[in-house]
Amino acid sequence: MNKLNRYLCNTDKSNLETLSKYNIRNLKVIDGELEFECGIEVYQALNNLINIDAIEIGRSKIITFLKKYFITLIGILLIIFALINLNSSITHIVFSDPDTENQEVLDYLDKYLKKVGPFSYLNDNLSNINLDLRKTFYHYEWIGIRKNGSYLYLDIKEIKTQPRDDDPRIGSYYASHQGIVKRYHVEKGIILVQEEQYVDKGEMLISGAIPKLGGEFDYLRAKGYVIAEVLQYKEFRIPVSELQIKKTGKLTKTKEIYLFNRNISRNKNKFIEFEKAEVNLFNLFNLFKIVDVEYYETKSITNKLTEEDAEKYAKSLVEKEFRRNKVNDFEKIIFNELVKIEKENDMYFVKLIVKTHQNIAMFIPDEIIDN
């Protein structure tokens, strides 16, 4: 008999004599009641004669299994959920190279993060985010994100603006800023300063004039660097209001047909504000083309900057400029601190004091000095 048509029944012991007249199985006495199994015909007959509780055996076994292994099943489901969540959520954002850490990049990346409790989730795919990052932070040689488990890695490679080696002009190095010399290295030329020496802006640091016997000189292109401790004040005026364009996460995908560069397909884009990405599927000399198009809805948001926001932004500009001009691994920012911040109508005036170790050796050809 199919177990799905059999029942597990319970009834009072006083009904034993009635039960003896029917085909039942596995009769037991449990907690003062009779428990037995029977087919659907017997169950229907008994149900008209005595007070009986019954459940299909298939369901009974499922319920028994669930009761027995409930905690285990819940544990397994929680583990599965945790693994799925681990793969899709972000708990840490890490710079692959600690020396490239940049608060401006983190603040910008925040618009692509949807936060739910302690977890964050990307609201767009990695390809679109990486494309946007490379457009925005174009001064980097490379910038991109990659995900490994719950860790989001930021890969940044900075452009090193090394001095030209093929410049045929002769000349010397002069100080681009005043500061205290911390270290130097000369490949060609004669060093004119020493460590812990204070130098003024414009002072010659490495000479391209090499003395010879008889008081004459050989002239060449000096080559080297001078790292100095430089202390500067930096002033910025930053608007109080900032207009930002953010994606809402809504997307419309469609194919569009163009004839003589005129769109002749039905417009499926209903977004008022949007960004558009397209890929040509077919193009016949721009006379006729089929384009795969994605419309991303955007929203214009006017953000009011606080004094703290303005301070962070000003500091990020200092860091950005320093990285752009950095040519030597010994160069670094020692501190970048706020001196004063004031609100002037619709602008913040921000004054910072910045101490750096930086290469102050600036090449100037002799022909410019002579003129």
pTM greater than the 0.85 cutoff: no
Burial readout 294-328 (b: 16 or more C-beta within 10 A, e: otherwise): bbbbbeeeeeebeeebbbbbbbbbbbbebbeebeb
Q: Are 257 and 286 in contact (CB under 8 A)?
A: no
- Asked whether residue 121 falls in the same domain as residue 94, the answer is yes
Q: Are 113 and 171 in contact (CB under 8 A)?
A: no
- Asked whether residue 68 falls in the same domain as residue 121, the answer is no
pLDDT of res. 160: 58
Alpha helices in 102-241 (DSSP H): 103-109, 126-136
- Asked whether residue 110 falls in the same domain as residue 128, the answer is yes
- Asked whether residue 235 falls in the same domain as residue 326, the answer is yes
List the chain residues with pLDDT less than 70: 1-4, 60-61, 63-64, 67-68, 81-87, 117-118, 139, 159-167, 368-371
What tens digit of pLDDT does each residue of 246-256 get? 788 888 888 88
Identify the DSSP state of 3. G
Average pLDDT of every residue of the chain:
84
**Of 277, 317, 315, nearest to 139 (Cα)?**
317
- Asked whether residue 95 falls in the same domain as residue 190, the answer is no
Q: Would you call 203 helix, strand, or coil by DSSP?
A: coil
Q: Are 182 and 195 in contact (CB under 8 A)?
A: yes
**Of 230, 180, 182, 183, nearest to 333 (Cα)?**
230
- Asked whether residue 8 falls in the same domain as residue 78, the answer is yes
- Asked whether residue 229 falls in the same domain as residue 323, the answer is yes
pLDDT of res. 165: 55
Write the DSSP assignment of 295-364 as a string of letters: EEEEEEEEEEPPHHHHHHHHHHHHHHHHHHH--STT-EEEEEEEEEEEEETTEEEEEEEEEEEEE-EEEE
Structure tokens of 102?
């940049």
Q: Are 181 and 191 in contact (CB under 8 A)?
A: no
Examine the fold and report which residue of 134, 158, 182 is the final residue of a domain before the chain moves on. 158
CA dihedral for 262, 268, 272, 278, sign (positive or negative): negative
pLDDT of res. 235: 95
**Of 128, 159, 151, 154, nearest to 143 (Cα)?**
154
Examine the fold and report which residue of 82, 112, 141 is the final residue of a domain before the chain moves on. 82
pLDDT of res. 158: 72
- Asked whether residue 249 falls in the same domain as residue 222, the answer is no
End-to-end CA distance of the chain: 111
- Asked whether residue 206 falls in the same domain as residue 217, the answer is yes
Examine the fold and report which residue of 302, 320, 350 is the final residue of a domain before the chain moves on. 302
pLDDT of res. 1: 40
Residue 22 half-sphere exposure toward CB, CA atoms < 13 A:
23
Q: Are 257 and 264 in contact (CB under 8 A)?
A: yes
- Asked whether residue 116 falls in the same domain as residue 216, the answer is no
- Asked whether residue 226 falls in the same domain as residue 315, the answer is yes
Find the length of the chain. 371
Q: What is the CATH number of the domain that holds 132?
A: 3.10.20.310
- Asked whether residue 360 falls in the same domain as residue 218, the answer is yes
Task: Please count the structural domains in the chain.
Answer: 4
What tens digit of pLDDT does each residue of 78-109 get? 777 666 655 677 777 888 887 778 788 888 88
Domain hosting residue 255, numbered range = 243-302
